[in-house]
Amino acid sequence: MTAKAHFGNPMIEQRNLARGKAVVRLDLGVIRVAGVDRLEWLHSMLTSDFKNLKPGQSREALLLNVQGHVEQVFHAFDDGEATSLIVPLDRVDALLKWLDRMMFRSKVEIADVSEQWAVFGSVAELEGVEASWVDPWPNLVLGGARYSTKVGADWSYREYLVPIEEAEKFAAAHGEAGTDALEALRIAAWRPSLHEVDERTMPHEVDWMTTAVHLSKGCYRGQEAVAKTHNLGHPPRRLVFLHLDGSEHSLPNRGDEVWVLQADGSRSERARGVVTSVAQHYEQGPIGLALVQRGVPTEAELVIVSELGDIAASAEVIVPQDSGKAAGLARPNLLMGKRV
């Protein structure tokens, strides 16, 4: 069984999911990394602190290119014998090849165990079931930096690895919702995902510095660009939360252009951003996330140019225009992990 967008009524499914009365089957695969060098090895390649990862703890980590642009996100947890990396199922083969090339003399063993596990997501802690990966969002992890001065809707997300032969029973026992329901709750929580990633995305732009980047750990690919942008500059784009006009009963698509609506009612001379995620929320109505140019005024009225016509939108600030070290960053009380 693969993931489904919905099972007939996405709004009811959203309510059930938000109340902890449903789980969502996800198209995710699992890569198992064993061996005595596994944590040091992962620590050297990815943005998070793996060196101090203890059995039962979770990490979110990014794989960057040399320019500091996001290539992949990993949901990782360790069981004392191996570290499991939860990744999109369609990227498993490419990631296995890349990891294999990076082994060198490290004492690690890599295996694709996706066929052994079904991955379910839930925004509640299920009774009697131990979560495999616990999402740190919206908490600030030790070594990270939050750019946003506030957070979105409540988000307490977990991913459960269930033996494949028990998947149907697990879904029936906990109720099932589609991926559309989870996507709407994610957007309302301002939680970034690979949907916010294109070939230019830096972690600063989507507030991923909060949970997926350790600023004082050892070297990894892209670290110089990450540190320079954080310490000396500002990210070229910033993530905003969109309240969309729902009067036309239509939603824009991911990839639709974002334009600024000027005082005379005309559009700006050029597009100023792009829609990255969109959903119909059971309480908030039509909502979305977008990456806009840093210079777009925070109070600007926006218009989404869609194949269905122009859709008006207002934006709520997630990543401020002056984000960066010099701006003074919010420091929530809840911290996770240990200092490197």
- What one-character DSSP code corresponds to residue 216? T
**Higher local confidence (pLDDT), 334 or 171:** 171
CA angle 151, 153, 154 (to 5 degrees): 100
> What crossing angle do the helices spanning 179-188 and 10-18 adopt, rounded to 10°?
60
For tokens 């230019």, name the residue.
200
Q: How confident is the model at residue 130 (pLDDT cuts 50, 70, 90)?
A: confident
User: pLDDT (tens digit, 9 = 90+) per residue, 226-264?
Assistant: 999 999 988 999 999 999 998 767 899 999 999 999 888
Please give the mean pLDDT across all residues of the chain: 92
Tell me the CATH number for domain 10-231.
3.30.1360.120
Residue-wise pLDDT for 37-90, tens only, equals: 999 999 999 999 999 999 999 999 999 999 999 999 999 999 999 999 999 999
User: Looking at residues 295-321, what average pLDDT do you find?
Assistant: 94
What does the pLDDT read at residue 331? 43
Q: How far apart are the first and last CA of the chain?
A: 41
Closest residue by Cα to residue 126 from 153, 155, 158: 158
The rounded distance, in Å, linking the Cα atoms of 66 and 333 is: 32
Q: Tokens in use for 308?
A: 């269905």
Question: Taking residues 260-283, what's their average pLDDT?
Answer: 92
Amino acid in position 63: L
Between 339 and 317, name the one with better pLDDT. Answer: 317
Q: What is the pLDDT of residue 155?
A: 96
pLDDT in the model for residue 332: 42
The CATH code of domain 236-322 reads: 2.40.30.110
Mean pLDDT, residues 260-270 taken together: 87
* Residues in contact with 58: Cβ distance below 8 Å, sequence separation at least 6, in sequence order: 75, 76, 77, 133, 134, 135, 136
Distance CA(113)–CA(308), nearest Å, equals 43
* pLDDT number for residue 249: 72
- Whether 333 shows a pLDDT value over 60: the answer reads no
Angle value at C-alpha 109, between 26 and 49, nearest 5 degrees: 70
Q: Where in the chain is the domain with CATH 3.30.1360.120?
A: 10-231
Q: What is the pLDDT of residues 170-204, one digit of tens each?
A: 999 999 999 999 999 999 999 999 999 999 999 99
Q: In which residue ranges of the chain is CATH 2.40.30.110 found?
A: 236-322
pLDDT bin (cut points 50, 70, 90) of residue 103 is very high
Identity at 188, one-letter amino acid code:
A
d(CA 300, CA 316): 10
Give whichever of 122-136, 288-302, 317-331 has the largest mean pLDDT. 288-302
pLDDT of residue 340: 31
What distances in angstroms separate CA 130 from CA 68, 76, 160, one per listed residue? 34, 15, 7
Residue 76 has what pLDDT? 98
User: Which of 145-149, 274-278, 309-313 reaches the highest mean pLDDT?
Assistant: 274-278
Burial 163-175 (b: 16+ CB within 10 A, else e): eeeebeebbeebb
pLDDT bucket at 338, cuts 50 / 70 / 90? very low
pLDDT band of 335, cuts 50, 70, 90: very low
Residue 178: phi, psi to the nearest 5? -90, 170
What pLDDT is recorded for position 328? 55
Summarize the confidence of residues 23-37 as an average pLDDT.
Answer: 98
Cis peptide before 138 (omega within 30 of 0): yes
State the Cα–Cα distance between residues 253 and 335, nearest whole angstrom: 36
pLDDT score recorded for residue 326: 56
